[in-house]
Structure 1
Amino acid sequence: MNLNSIPLTSSEIGNLWMTYQEKTMLLRFLEYFLEHAEDQSVHNILQDAYSASDQVVKTIHSIFQNEGAASPLGFTANDVNKRVPKLFDFYYEPMFLNVICKIEASLFSMYFSMSYRQDIRQLFKQLTAEAQDIFDRCSNYLLDKGVLVRPPFMSVPKEISFITDKHYLSGFNLFKEKRSLNAIEISLIHNSIETNLIGMQLMIGFAQVAHNQEVKEYFIKGMKLSKDVETSLGEFMRQDFIEPPATPAGKATNSTIAPFSDKLMMYITNLLGSFGLGSSSLGGAFNLRSDLPLELAKLAQKILPFIKEGGEIMITNGWMEEPPQVEDRRQLTRS
């Protein structure tokens, strides 16, 4: 029996559909970035990412076609204007791609574990490896240029120890000083701040060029939300006399000419917001000091309405493509 002839499951259809949306979005960004890339090393990374993403889109289209299913629309040449001035300054291209590959590596690894047909598992296995490779190259480039801030260094443990004081879990004891952050907590805070700094510059740039006034105001909210995340989480590091991450590169320029459609900019904002929400949940699960999960929960309460508002704006403007829908059999019970 040909295992690849087995019909696609709902999870495989959904994950392929999501991947098509994300990859066609990324292609439009890469087309614009390639138009302005001045550094040959960056150009090579962007070109390789573009070629790989373009092939994936074709592969997914072929899979849907073989299944007799309609391919998604995703994002097309109508969603990008490659020849407008740069919206972001030097080094932003690899910084942006670094974050996207971080998201992709997590998503594709999860999609792999949700796939059952051999060819679909192989596809997501390949996509995970490609995302990791581009992430690796972007990281090496940015580290070499000194614009990717490493998490703080610390002394390595010389012996094994166990927690004996229950106050280790407390962050609210008024009569006892809070313990300092541990390595796991610092890593999660650092990652969240780093991602939000890049996202904040994206929101600033988007707010400058959006055509729709409601969309423009939404991006301003996103800019302030990213700043809130950076400020509140950064304070935890400052309390331990640790400087939060910051970089002088990757800033929005003063251009007011849109390289992307409002639809495309809204989609990636929703994607980054959803990833931020997931990161907050992950951080809450692994932080052992009780004040940290509470702060992350407060931030999640701000992020979730922001994502919902974005979805409503996209629906109002006819920009939200509907995912594949299961047959509604509930009507059979109403007769």
Structure 2
Amino acid sequence: MPEKAPITSSELGTLWLTYQEKTMILRMLEYFIEKADDEKAKEIMTSLHSDLELYVGKIITIYEQEGAVIPVGYTAQDVNKDVPKLYDNGFDIMFVRLLKQISMGLHALNLTMTFREDINILFEDLTALTQKYYRICSQYLLEKGLLVRTPFVSMPKSVEFVKNKDYLSASTLNPLSQKRTLNTVEVAHLHKGIEANLTGLQMILGFAQCAHDNQVKKFFHEGAELAKGIIKEISELMIQDGLPVPQTPGGNATRSTVAPFSDKLMMYCTSLFCSFSLGSNSLGTAFSLRNDLPAKMSIFTKDIFEYAHKGAKIMIKKGWTEEPPQMVNHKE
């Protein structure tokens, strides 16, 4: 038996996906580090960049040992650090924090699809690293007053059980039907939805004003309108229960129209955020018991999926979509 078993198809695929994501993040960090005007933020991002470079190197080593071609991913050609700031007021760490949310889910999923010990350890280590930087970014934003906590609530004094099906009621067909107040689980997912879309909105507004290709520019403008609509819909649900709506007090796109990133990189980043939104909406639907919430989440999911599909077609048309490793076609 060989000392190490050959890597499987799922291991090759998860490593490929991780390489794409990490090389994109490295390029974006390089720009944000260059433009950082806060020393602590710069320190956080520089440390993260150094740590991620190490793991990209480990993935390259595994590929080389297996005789597999190294993916292209995202390179120095996809970033231009010598341009004006595209974002201001804490956006860099807000953006990194959201990327860490995405990465936590990806690494946990990838870990369930790997078998070889060295690859298991790689994803375990990446998970721990991601959790570490998510905590650091959250604490930084809280200290700066740039992160809004979920609403506080009176502590329950007794355990209650659902007594009848009215707990589920909130018919979307009958707006006069009685609605119970939102529970804390539902509020958590709604709050997270607004928070993520607020950061995503500023990101895509910046992308829209500096994209080179007119079709890409139009795509980003459509994405901004989609994010605004989702924020408005979720906010109305919280307002109906007298709950405060999160409004991020920072992270603005500036007036710059000079692109720090390639259209290819910005399209991929938007695609990654769409995938995260689809997963988050699915979780929100699964854990919401008031039946108007899954109905709304399903509409969001449909709209985001259609938007992401449109983006995928643009990327293929422009020749920006790198193919994942393929299985052998035995018919050929």
Aligned pair 1:83/2:78, yes or no? no
CA distance in 2, matches of 1:227, 1:2: 55
Aligned to 2:256: 255
C-alpha separation in 1, matches of 2:103 and 2:33 = 20
Aligned positions of 1:68-217 closer than 5 A = 68-172=67-171, 176-217=177-218
Instruction: State how 1:248-287 maps to structure 2 within 5 Å.
Output: 248-287=249-288
Q: Are the counterparts in 1 of residues 185 and 288 from structure 2 also a CA contact under 8 Å?
A: yes
Amino acid at match of 1:31: E
Alignment TM-score, normalising by the size of structure 1: 0.97
**8 Å contact from structure 2 (residues 199, 251) kept in 1:** yes
Q: Which runs of 5+ in 1 are unaligned?
A: none
Which moved further from structure 2: 225-234 or 182-191?
225-234
Pair 1:237 & 2:238 matched = yes
Q: Any idea what SS the aligned residue of 1:153 has?
A: coil
Q: Which amino acid aligns with 1:20?
A: Y
Distance in structure 2 (CA, Å) of the matches to 1:322 and 1:247? 37
Partners of 1:307 and 1:117 lie apart in 2 by 33
Aligned-partner Cα distance in 2 for 1:221–1:44: 35
1:219 aligns with 2:220: yes
Distance in 2, Cα, partners of 1:94 & 1:48 = 13
In the TM superposition, what is the alpha-carbon distance from 1:83 to its structure 2 partner? 1.3
Task: Indicate conservation of the 8 Å contact 2:93/2:137, yes or no.
Answer: yes
Q: Cα gap change, 1:174/1:189 in structure 2, threshold over 3 Å: closer, same or farther? A: closer
Q: Residue in 2 aligned with 1:36?
A: 35
| Structure 1 CA distance for aligned equivalents of residues 236 and 159 of structure 2 | 29
Q: How many residues are matched?
A: 330
| 8 Å Cα contact 2:170-2:177 kept in structure 1 | no
Q: Helix, strand or coil for the counterpart of 2:88?
A: coil
Letter in 1 for 2:209: Q
Secondary structure (helix, strand or coil) at the match of 1:73 reads coil
Per-residue displacement from partner, 1:47-86 (whole Å, max 9, x unpaired)? 1110111111111011000000001000000000001000
1:320–1:175 CA distance, 2 compared to 1 (3 A): closer
Q: Tell me which residue corresponds to 2:47.
A: 48
Whichever residue aligns with residue 319 of structure 1, its letter is W
What is the CA–CA distance in structure 2 between the aligned matches of 1:120 and 1:139, rounded to whole Å? 28
Structure 1 CA distance, aligned partners of 2:94 and 2:316?
30
Question: TM-score under structure 2 normalisation?
Answer: 0.97
Q: Distance in 2 between matches of 1:23 and 1:40?
A: 23
CA distance in 1, matches of 2:177, 2:213: 52
Amino acid paired to 1:282: L
Q: 1:328: which partner in 2?
A: 329
- Give CA-to-partner distance per residue, 1:277-312, whole Å, 9 cap, x none: 111111111100000000000111111110001000
The alpha carbon displacement at 1:2 in A equals 6.0
Looking at structure 1, the residues matched to 71 and 157 of structure 2 have their Cα atoms a distance apart, in angstroms, of 55
Q: For residues 44 and 144 of structure 1, what CA distance do their matches in structure 2 show? A: 16
* Residue 28 of structure 2 is aligned to residue 14 of structure 1: no
| Cα separation, 2, equivalents of 1:77 and 1:309 | 27
Post-superposition shift, 1:140? 0.2
2-structure distance, mates of 1:2, 1:246:
56
Report the CA distance shift for 1:174/1:212 in structure 2 as closer, same or farther (over 3 A). closer
CA distance in 2, matches of 1:72, 1:284: 35
In structure 1, what is the Cα distance between the partners aligned to 2:202 and 2:13?
31
Give the share of equivalent positions with the same residue, in percent. 47
**How far apart, CA to CA, are the structure 2 residues paired with 1:7 and 1:314?**
32
Matched, 1:63 2:86: no
Q: Following TM superposition, by how much is the alpha carbon of 1:202 offset from its aligned partner in structure 2, in angstroms?
A: 0.6
Name the CA distance, whole Å, in 1 between partners of 2:249 and 2:38: 18
Cα shift at 1:251: 0.7
- Do the aligned partners of 2:169 and 2:177 also contact (CA within 8 Å) in 1? no
Aligned-residue Cα RMSD (Å) equals: 1.1
- Could you tell me how far 1:175 is from its partner in structure 2? 6.0
